[in-house]
Amino acid sequence: MNRGFTLLELLITVTVLAILLSVAAPNFNTINNSVKMERLATELNGFLIQAKSEAVLKNKDLWVHISFPKTEENKVGSWSLVLRDSSALSGNMIAYLDGSNFKGITLKHTYTYQKTKFEGIRGRPAPGSFTFHPNTDTTKTLKVFLSNPPGRIKICYDNTSGTLYGYNSCS
């Protein structure tokens, strides 16, 4: 009675598995980028809504400090957003969001002074935006708009039509 596998059977099995993995690996990368993009959109939106709510709750102007300049695209996840009760970096920290979990995603913003203000009475943000996309595909860009008035925070697909990650086109 023969128990076990022959060397030929093992080689065929390993070869078939290697072929399957080489075909599936690019799909895993795409899925990973999609999950990161959706999560960043959700967390950034939540952070900005929290900033707006905290400004109204405290009835005080609050500032979101951005760790990198407007002219720079942060591609390595070394960015941070800090909600403070002062326009100076020495103010008390209220909330924090960083890019350590979003490596492989490029983030940009439109704020000249690396900070944006949320008004204390109504929580209205200063107008501007954040855009982000996977480092490997600039066509899959999401945009977070902050508008004043009316103080709305909106996430959309930065394209003329269609949807991406469940978000409609910005147009």
Q: How many domains does the chain have?
A: 1
- pLDDT tens track, the chain, 171 positions: 677 788 888 899 999 998 888 877 777 777 888 899 999 999 999 999 999 999 999 999 999 999 999 999 998 889 999 999 999 999 999 999 999 999 999 999 999 999 999 999 899 999 999 999 999 888 999 999 998 778 889 999 988 788 888 899 987
Residue among 83, 78, 79, 44 at smallest CA distance from 60? 83
36 within a domain of the structure (yes/no)? yes
138 within a domain of the structure (yes/no)? yes
Residue 92 domain boundaries: 29-168
Q: How far is CA 40 from CA 5, 49, 58, 67, 150, in A?
A: 48, 14, 26, 16, 24
22 within a domain of the structure (yes/no)? no
12 within a domain of the structure (yes/no)? no
**What's 115's domain CATH number?**
3.55.40.10
What is the structure's pLDDT at 142? Answer: 94
What is the structure's pLDDT at 1? Answer: 60
148 within a domain of the structure (yes/no)? yes
95 is written with which tokens? 């909330």
What is the structure's pLDDT at 127? Answer: 93
49 within a domain of the structure (yes/no)? yes
23 within a domain of the structure (yes/no)? no
133's CB contacts (< 8 A; 6+ apart) are 37, 105, 106, 139, 140, 141, 142
9 within a domain of the structure (yes/no)? no
pTM of the model: 0.83
What is the structure's pLDDT at 32? Answer: 85
